[in-house]
Chain A
Amino acid sequence: MDLRKTEEKIFKGIMICSTCCILAILLIILITILVKGLPAMRWSMITQVPKGGFYLGREGGILNAILGSLVLAGGATLMTCMISLPIVLYLNVYVRKRTWITQITRFSLDVLWGIPSIVYGAFGFTLMLYLGLRASLLGGLIAMCFLILPIMSRAMDEVVKMMPAELLEASYALGATQFETALKVVARQALPGILTAVLIAFGRGIGDAASVIFTAGFTDHIPTSLFRPVATLPLAIFFQLGTPFPEVQERAYASALILTAIIFIVCIVSRLLTRRFTRNVIR
């Protein structure tokens, strides 16, 4: 009897320890980034592009990478949206029944979800070779679309799947076609979830380096054309860290702080948006 109680206590102790351990690690990571990044933060980091000698520790900032990342991730998110939304609506409004097409599509999206971003980068690179593209914003957009397509689609699918069948019936009963129902009723009812999915995908896109390393290239300039290389924040951090100069490495910490802050903002905005757009939703 006593043994059982002791066993119970020991294991409960271990479990609480592991849980705390994981929480502690999360905190430590955030604190490390904050403590290391703040001292190196300068206003010029976010307002200027790298000046000559930036990688030797001289003047300039990473505006090129901030803008590049926003344009790249934003563009890829928009493009992916236009592919994901039809897929999800098709699965949940048109097919709806459990058939091979829904099963296979969901399954392959799950599998795609697990493929590492470096493989998307490599695949994007081979596509670019076929199309005769060089490392450019367009190439980065293509690779990133592939990367975030499964993330966005599955997140949307989870929400839209919860749609009550009666809501669809109510719309059909008024003589609406499936397309009209999908656009006017389903998309609206699931709007908060769809927005969250979009933001999750955006967050993944903006933080990813491996998919854009061959495809988007890097540049010290602000993005101006689809066919020019574009800088991204994660790669900027990576390159700054790679230099042997402590001043430049400090800048990497500041850049990391900026990237973390962007991810945080995305998280918070998605929560706020979710609240704002639940106005019309039927429960």
Chain B
Amino acid sequence: MSFKPHIRVENLNVYYGKEQALKNITVNIPDRKITAIIGPSGCGKSTLLKSFNRLLDPVDHVRISGRVFVDQEDIYDSKVDVTRIRKKMGLLSQRPYPLPMSIYDNVAYGPRLHGIRNKKTLNEIVERNLKISSIWNEVKDRLNTPASRLSIGQQQRLCLARGLAVEPEIILGDEPTSALDPKSSQRIEQRFIELKSEYTIVLVTHILRQAKRLADYVLFMYLGELVEHGSAEEIFSNPKQEMTKEYIGGTFS
């Protein structure tokens, strides 16, 4: 399968202290597709995801070697402006973490940081992104209440809206549905399918069925190594590696 890569990873190694979390990863992430990173827990899925927007930097005793290119730009270059890299990517974490402010301010937080002050523009941005995340109808009458009062499912959609409001090109999801009930999960998945025409989406998931439902491209990782990657069709119907076969067949998890 040939495609235009949006993120290119070259010989990426990550160490936490003495432990090696990622071993020599080289892979391309396709543009405007949903890529799923699957594998048993502790295999380095989240680490790989976080390396894409340099969220590993503040972690204790971390060492990173290798290169990650986003839009042909090496993001680990020392001259790079980290905030600009991060602005390109929206992040959904396992549990939603709304910021300690109102619903409106949560969505407006990013745009304000990047210099949008005009009240009208902000209102438009907030409304548009809350609509895209299909939460507008639930919150339009109480935009000024604290975000902490929303349900977990609503919070996760709010976080999606917050991430989209900085106009990213990429959406990173770190098991974004794992804390949600089935109904909320389904809504989030629905959003992803609609959003992939405009965004590159990378999802970490440990739910195989979710990967099958959503993914166009799949990375299978095990103990810090990238075992196999390819189009979803290939990986799920005709995996080349024995280990992938076993994992997908459900022999181990």
Contact = CB atoms under 8 A, between A and B. Distances in A.
Interface residues of B, number: 34
Contacts of A169: 55, 91, 93, 97
Interface in A143-167: 164-167
Contacts of B64: none
Given A98-B60, A173-B90, A174-B109, A166 B100 contact: no
A174 B162 contact: yes
Interface in A171-187: 171-177, 180, 184-185
A184 B99 CA distance: 9
Interface stretch (B24-32, B79-87, B120-128, B218-226): B79-87
Contacts of B101: 184, 188, 280
A188 B83 contact: no
Interface in A262-283: 279-283
Interface string A91-118: 0000011100000000000000000000
A173 B166 CA distance: 10
Given A185-B99, A189-B100, A172 B84 contact: no
Q: Give the most central of A96, A97, A169, A175: most B CB within 10 Å.
A: A175
A85 interface: no
Contacts of B162: 170, 174
Nearest to A97: B60
Given A167-B99, A184-B109, A280-B100, A173 B91 contact: yes
Interface of B: 53, 55, 58-61, 83-84, 86-87, 89-91, 93, 95, 97-102, 109-110, 113-114, 146-148, 159, 162-163, 165-166, 172
Given A97-B60, A98-B60, 16 more contacts: A97-B61, A167-B99, A168-B58, A171-B109, A174-B162, A175-B86, A175-B110, A175-B114, A175-B166, A176-B113, A184-B99, A188-B100, A189-B99, A282-B97, A282-B99, A282-B100
12 contacts: A97-B58, A97-B61, A169-B91, A172-B83, A172-B86, A174-B86, A174-B166, A175-B84, A176-B83, A180-B113, A188-B101, A282-B147
